[in-house]
A and B are shown apart, each in its own frame.
Chain A
Amino acid sequence: MQINSSMKKSFLFKSLVDYLYILNVGGFLLLLTTISFGFVEINVIKGGDEHWSLLAISISCISVLTCIVFLRGVYYLRKMARHLLTHKYFSKQIIKCLKISGTHFLLAGVMFVVIMILGWIGKLREGLFEFVYDINLMVPLFLMIIGLFFMIQSEALLVAKNFKEENELTV
């Protein structure tokens, strides 16, 4: 009964992570394609200049990098979810994937904060001081919390794995 319920949760978790990964990869590729073919025009931070400023280029590059780092984090989360279906909770693969995924989410969160700060500096240079309190402010915070939680969870699993091995090798 317990295993059946756990199996259902693991399956649901894997399905959700799969959807998240497919939607993100699809969205990212679609965005890259539309930008490169010029279907979409990007607004440069309220500048209206024809040429991109160094700040705008930096923000764009970091945004793409953040997206890639986040996608890599989701990819390892997906890998971990696949291993979860085998019910080997203390396997090396799960611990490793959880740690890598956590590191990537933490890094993506930090990069998100950098983007926000750069955007804020850009507006400040235009003489506009503003502080927007919205859901976007929570995204990097949540990413960093999740990333750190995954890293802690991976360390906890490693400790548990060692205890389990010791217990199994006690005669």
Chain B
Amino acid sequence: MPIIINLDVMLAKRKIRSKELSERIGITTSNLSILKSGKAKAIRFSTLEAICKALECQPKDILEYRDS
């Protein structure tokens, strides 16, 4: 899929662990893992909003389009 998830990069920049983020945004670690690994087929606006709020970033910092 040409949509790349840069959640790992943002987590490293903010020095936050996956478990901590999952607790903050209220999703399971397995779902966060699906998102991080790029296996997710869709992301809800509510989840994206929660991630952006928790990591203090913009959606473009997490999602990236790469033409393959």
Contact = CB atoms under 8 A, between A and B. Distances in A.
Interface of A: 165-166, 169-171
22 contacts: A165-B41, A166-B41, A166-B42, A169-B34, A169-B39, A169-B40, A169-B41, A169-B42, A170-B40, A170-B41, A170-B42, A170-B43, A170-B44, A171-B27, A171-B31, A171-B32, A171-B34, A171-B35, A171-B40, A171-B42, A171-B43, A171-B47
A36 B44 CA distance: 68
Interface residues of B, number: 12
Contacts, number: 23
Interface of B: 27, 31-32, 34-35, 39-44, 47
Contacts of B42: 166, 169-171
Contacts of B35: 171
A165 B32 CA distance: 16
A31 B27 CA distance: 63
A166 B47 CA distance: 16
